[in-house]
Structure 1
Amino acid sequence: MKQIHSLIVTNGHLLHHSNAPSSHQWMPTLLYNALISAYDNHHHKSLHLFSHMLANQVPPNSYTFPPILKSSPLPLGSTLHSQTLKRGVFSDPFILTTLLALYARNNLLPHARKVFEEFPVFLIVACNAMLNAFSMNGDMETAVSLFESMPQRDVISWTTVVNGFALNGNFGASIRFFGKMMNHKDVVEGLVKPNEATCACVLSSCANLDGKTALDCGKQVHGYVVMNEVKLGVFVGTSLINLYGKMGCLSDVENVFRIMVVREVCTWNAMISSLASNGREKEALEMFEQIKLQGLKPNSITYVAVLTACARGKFVREGLDLFRSMWQDFRIEPIMKHYGCVIDLLGRSGHIQEAAEIIRNMPFQPDASVLGAFLGACRIHGAIKLGEEIGKKALKLQTQHCGQYVLLSSMNAEKERWDHAADLRREIMEAGIQKIPAYSMVHLT
């Protein structure tokens, strides 16, 4: 590349001359487009180049707008939409698809549909973008209707719907739609083949369901990956580790981890979580050290996983040291989940006063999950007065939730403080809060 660059310079072809032939009239536009594309991930720089382009009366064309629209915030995106109309390039499929995606990610589904209707002919790329728009905005019924009306589908079409159900929490439907895909003539006849993204999506759905059926489905997908030589990349491998870890299949977890050629931080996070949730907390901590030896940088999720391991293993000193190291070593700002893990760690180990001190000094208001973990620890260790002090904050956060009231009332009843327990029960009734009835579930395999 550098040799070619040198030849261009030495032969005098680098500069654009004013007396160049008319066939070169679009050269400035091409140069600006190349620079804008090069700054694809630096939105402010690409926008500055676009402004400079207009100031110098260089006409933008259909290749100018997609990279700018790709990362534009909504108000600017609408302005650029107007520019495409003004410049007569609005009907370009790439511009229409990028605009559609812009409105979809900003939850403007009617705008996305209006852009979609501007496509003059059927384009599978446009349909896939619209499928994703419906999925992102929770309208899976319309997404499926559009999918079924498409005269042609590719693997992205199928994967978008499978992932759409998962995005909206309907993991069972995600798995069933994948099953429909595998039995469809497009797959049977080899016209469409599930790829890494498809497999990762359905494995993630399996991991979010309990029971033998979900595990069996995950194993079938794993078998398909092996038999059809689908790439066992980071996404599929991590999804398998996550699934097997949640199902308690640690030998499968270790096998997948061992054969993975490329492991990213997300892979190590899944491995640490799997070990932590299956009674091998010490190994989870050792794996955290291995991340650093591999030259990878732990992220916020890594610390949630390793702090959870500390809480379950009651490694108080190690957990507190890790919590402090987040900012000191990696400049990771602790979020609510990290504080929840630390409160759980101290609560399980009986360090109630220390947990209360952390709650009082948190840089933001603790949420109900943090306070609920603390109240549970207070009940186990009999710290009633401290529980009542912190419990008042929980009641303010969840005024219409019966859980915290019932927990506080039960704590007082266990210590035979019947008047306090009765007062809390009375508050539930006066506030009109309905106690959620308990139930049991039997899972038949």
Structure 2
Amino acid sequence: MLCKPFLSFSLSLEDALHLLQRFFNSSNQTKQIHSVLITTNALVSSRWKTKFVYNTLIRSYLTTGQYKTSLALFTHMLVSQVQPINLTFPSLIKAACSSFSVSYGVSLHGQALKRGVLWDPFIQTSFVRFYGEVADFRSSRKMFGDIVDPCVIACNSMLDACGRNGDMDSAFELFQRMPVTDVVSWTTVINGFSKNGLHAKAVMLFGEMIENNRVVITPTEATLVSVLSSCANLDRGGVHLGKQIHGYVMRKEIILTTTLGTALLDLYGKAGHLEMALTIFDQIRDKDKEVCTWNAVISALASNGRPEKALEMFEMMKSKNVHPNGITLLAVLTACARSKLVDLGIQLFISICSEYKIIPTSEHYGCMVDLIGRAGLLVDAVNFIKKLPFELDASVVGALLGACKIHEDAELGNKVGKWLIGLQPQHCGQYVALSTLSALESNWAEAEQMRKVMIQAGIRKIPAYSVLF
């Protein structure tokens, strides 16, 4: 640590570089060194040496998460007429991305072009990732196309950009063409499939990864978390593979981090293995339990017949000073709906949104409709919907249709179902639900007609499936 007497002396640029490299990951020391350089005017003494001090300061502030300070330093660098070099830009591009400064990132592109350093593959790769993360997929692809001989890191950045922007066909095509792949390549494509709802493909690719005969690829924690997420979201077959992955984690004595533990907890919770989910929760150290961990265990309890325990866990979460988020609110409302605790659900909805500054989404309002409707208060649910301050979507109307099915209200259900078909004409669930409601009234002609409309529209009921290895 720098001592106070040290601050009374001036620093040469050589000393500054040495100290910055020594205290590279320390925010406080970086600020002290920077302060001394400013007060002693050392940053304007030598243009050649100064640019390296600026570069080191920019990277140091980036490393300690002070992204806006990194960007401000670049502005100061230009004002001081210190010419940036190719090494200056990758850290700045990452800082612009991390601070969501899209306009600054675009201006950096212009600066790199103006300074004649855009040819640098590290800069090009940085821009591929930047444009991918800010959803400018076209610019990301164009930048990747300008790289003469993209290395595996550049290809991985493009794979990530494809996944973030939903183009998994292009991602998989590039992946198959890559002459060299590493664990990041495999993980990025698996994660892309998982994030875009292509869970069976994510699981199958993971199977290919661990059975790869050409080169041994050892999955990382990120790989395991991505494939566990897909296992949890498969209708059938996923839990079997998930258990195998859990066995792998135990055999390799891999530490159950927050992220990995939460992924396993979520898997077992969604598969109905509640006791195992609770065991995983207990294995995660209390100090490591984050809001995502609490959300997973509350959801597991709520969806597996233990809604009262879920609400107890929510109170325990707050007692640990873990702040709820939007996902917590969904889990709590689900627990209240399963227990038919309408008044408590409404009270928690209002208090959580107010206290923790959560802005409700249509999914939250859908949960509220489910809460009111499951209790048999269908008229109240309809009145609640009529007062919503936005255009209704399928999540809200679908919750009302579900309540109609539970309480076998065919008259209201038929009206709601036809309304829902208007919102989601290609979704099979609405047609099946309407057919079922018609059958409840012994209106077989209407039930058969709904099935025919579904077939004529080319809509098929989604079958269950399993994935075997």
Q: Which range, TM-score by smaller chain?
A: 0.7 to 0.9
**1:159, distance to aligned residue in structure 2 (A):** 0.9
Is 1:243–2:264 an aligned residue pair? no
Q: Name the residue aligned to 1:296.
A: 322
One-letter code aligned to 1:202: V
Q: Give the stretch that moved more between structures: 172-181 or 66-75.
A: 66-75
Taking the TM superposition and a 5 Å limit, the aligned residue runs for 1:74-153 are 74=102, 76-119=104-147, 121=149, 123-153=151-181
Unmatched segments (≥5 aa) in structure 2: 13-35
Q: Name the residue aligned to 1:7.
A: 6
**1:371, distance to aligned residue in structure 2 (A):** 1.7
Q: Distance in 2 between matches of 1:62 and 1:444?
A: 48
One-letter code aligned to 2:225: A
Give CA deviations for 1:238-261 in whole Å, capped at 9, x if unaligned: 111111111111221122111112
Taking the TM superposition and a 5 Å limit, the aligned residue runs for 1:344-423 are 344-378=370-404, 381=407, 394=420, 397-398=423-424
Give CA deviations for 1:120-156 in whole Å, capped at 9, x if unaligned: 5553321211222233344444434433444443321
Structure 2 residue aligned with 1:58, among 77, 82, 105? 82
Q: Name the residue aligned to 1:234.
A: 258
Taking the TM superposition and a 5 Å limit, the aligned residue runs for 1:303-318 are 303-318=329-344
Is 1:204–2:229 an aligned residue pair? yes
Q: Name the residue aligned to 2:347.
A: 321
Q: Distance in 2 between matches of 1:248 and 1:117?
A: 47
**1:286, distance to aligned residue in structure 2 (A):** 0.6
Q: Distance in 2 between matches of 1:193 and 1:120?
A: 30
One-letter code aligned to 1:214: G
Q: Distance in 1 between matches of 2:11 and 2:298?
A: 59
Provide the secondary structure at the position in 1 that maps to 2:226.
Answer: helix
One-letter code aligned to 1:248: G
Residues 30 and 353 from structure 1, CA distance in 2 versus in 1: closer, same or farther, beyond 3 angstroms?
A: same
Provide the secondary structure at the position in 2 that maps to 1:269.
Answer: helix
Give CA deviations for 1:78-132 in whole Å, capped at 9, x if unaligned: 3321210211222334322220012223454453344234445553321211222
Residues 220 and 32 from structure 1, CA distance in 2 versus in 1: closer, same or farther, beyond 3 angstroms?
A: closer
The answer as to whether partners of 2:202 and 2:230 remain within 8 angstroms in 1 is yes
Higher relative CO (CA 8 A, sep ≥ 6), structure 1 or 2?
Answer: 2
One-letter code aligned to 2:303: S
Provide the secondary structure at the position in 1 that maps to 2:392.
Answer: coil
The answer as to whether partners of 1:103 and 1:112 remain within 8 angstroms in 2 is yes
The answer as to whether partners of 2:307 and 2:336 remain within 8 angstroms in 1 is yes
TM-score (norm 1): 0.82
Q: Give the stretch that moved more between structures: 336-345 or 73-82.
A: 73-82
Give CA deviations for 1:147-181 in whole Å, capped at 9, x if unaligned: 34444433212211221222232222211211222
Residues 186 and 290 from structure 1, CA distance in 2 versus in 1: closer, same or farther, beyond 3 angstroms?
A: farther
Structure 1 residue aligned with 2:310, among 281, 284, 293? 284
- How many equivalent pairs are there? 433
Q: Name the residue aligned to 2:240.
A: 216
Unmatched segments (≥5 aa) in structure 1: none
Residues 260 and 376 from structure 1, CA distance in 2 versus in 1: closer, same or farther, beyond 3 angstroms?
A: closer
Give CA deviations for 1:271-310 in whole Å, capped at 9, x if unaligned: 1111111111111111101111111001100110111111
Q: Distance in 2 between matches of 1:158 and 1:210?
A: 24
One-letter code aligned to 2:114: K
Q: Distance in 1 between matches of 2:465 and 2:147?
A: 52
Percentage identity across paired residues of the two chains: 42
The answer as to whether partners of 2:428 and 2:460 remain within 8 angstroms in 1 is no
Provide the secondary structure at the position in 2 that maps to 1:102.
Answer: helix
Q: Distance in 1 between matches of 2:44 and 2:406?
A: 86
TM-score (norm 2): 0.78
Structure 2 residue aligned with 1:195, among 214, 217, 220? 220
The answer as to whether partners of 1:241 and 1:256 remain within 8 angstroms in 2 is yes
**1:41, distance to aligned residue in structure 2 (A):** 5.5
